[in-house]
Amino acid sequence: MKKAIIVDDEPLARMVVKEYLQNHPSITVMQECNDGFEGMKAIMQHQPDVIFLDIQMPKINGFEMLELVEQPPAVIFTTAFDEYAIKAFESHAVDYLLKPFSQERFDKAIERLTKRDTAVASNNTRDLLDTAAQGPQQNQRIVVKTGNKIKIIPIDEVHYLEAADDYVKIHTKEGAFLKNKTMGHFEKVLNPDQFVRTHRSYMVNVQLVTRIDPYEKESYLAQLKTGAQVPVSKNGYARLKTVLGI
C-alpha cells in the first residue's frame, strides 16, 4: 500500500484525483489539502509515499511548500501550469498531469510511480526543487519555516546572507532566519545585479551598501545602511566594484 496526499486549492480538482484513484486500490489518500500550509503539515504527519500537487496556489506555491519539507516524497503534478515551463521539471518529477487530464493519462502516471523506487523518487524531488528555484517566479521571495510558522520574505527585504553550517542565515530588519540551502544555491538563483557574493560565507544586497572600507591585508568591510558590516574578500571586492560601477 502507498500513502498519498492531494494538495490543490480547487475542490473539483481534488475530487477528480480521488475519483481516478478508485482504479488504484493500492494507493490510499491520507488527507486532502487546499493550500501549501496544510500540505506541509499533512506531509510531516502522514509521511506519504506520493503527493498529487498543484503548483499555483494561494499563500505559498507547490515548489515553496516542498522546500519546507526535510524529506520530500515523490511528486506527481496535477496543474494548469504552462506546459512549456513544466517541461524543465519533467525529468525530476514522477510525472506531471496538465489539467484537464483523463483517466487514461492519470493511469500512466500511476504506472510510472509504481515502477520507480521511492528513495530515487524522493531524490528526484530535491533535484526538481533546485531546477525550479532557478525560474523567474521562484527568486522574488524566500520562504522559511520558523518553528511551526512559515514566513515569506520578499527578496528586497533581505539585507545580506551568511553561511551557517548546512544552512544560510538570511538577515532582514526583523532578524535572521535560517534556510536549508547553500550559498552556491543563492548565488545561482538571485539576481547578480542585486546580490553579490562578497566572501565565501557572505552575499550582500548591493542596494544597501554605503561604502567599502579597507580592513586587513587584501580584505575589506562593506558598510550597509542598516549599520551592519559584511566581510569582503579580494575577489569579492572586484565583483562588488563591477556591480556598483566603481
- What are 31-51's pLDDT values in tens digits? 999 999 999 999 999 999 999
- What are 149-181's pLDDT values in tens digits? 889 999 999 999 999 998 999 999 999 999 988
Mean pLDDT for the stretch of residues 229-239: 95
Best CA proximity match to 181, nearest among 199, 198, 161: 161
Q: Which residues contact 89 (CB under 8 A, 6 or more apart)?
A: 77, 96, 128, 131, 132
Residue ranges, CATH 2.40.50.1020, the chain: 142-244
Characterize the bridge pairing of strands 202-205 and 209-214: unpaired
Residue ranges, CATH 3.40.50.2300, the chain: 2-131
Would you tell me the crossing angle of helices 103-115 and 11-21 to the nearest 10 degrees? 70
Q: What is the CATH number of domain 2-131?
A: 3.40.50.2300
pTM of the model: 0.74
The DSSP bridge partners found for residue 51 are 5, 75
CA atoms 205, 159, 164, 59: torsion sign = negative
Residue 194 and residue 157: Cα distance in Å, rounded?
12
- What are 93-143's pLDDT values in tens digits? 788 888 999 999 999 999 988 887 655 555 666 666 666 655 555 568 899
Q: ∠2-6-11 over CA atoms, to 5°?
A: 145
Residue 17 and residue 107: Cα distance in Å, rounded?
11
pLDDT at residue number 217: 85
CATH 2.40.50.1020, domain 142-244, yes or no: yes
Q: How many Å separate Cα 243 from the centre of its chain?
A: 26
Q: ∠119-121-125 over CA atoms, to 5°?
A: 115
In the three-class reduction of DSSP (H, G, I as helix; E, B as strand; rest coil), residue 67 is classed as helix
Q: Which residues contact 233 (CB under 8 A, 6 or more apart)?
A: 198, 199, 200, 218, 219
Residue 159 and residue 161: Cα distance in Å, rounded?
7
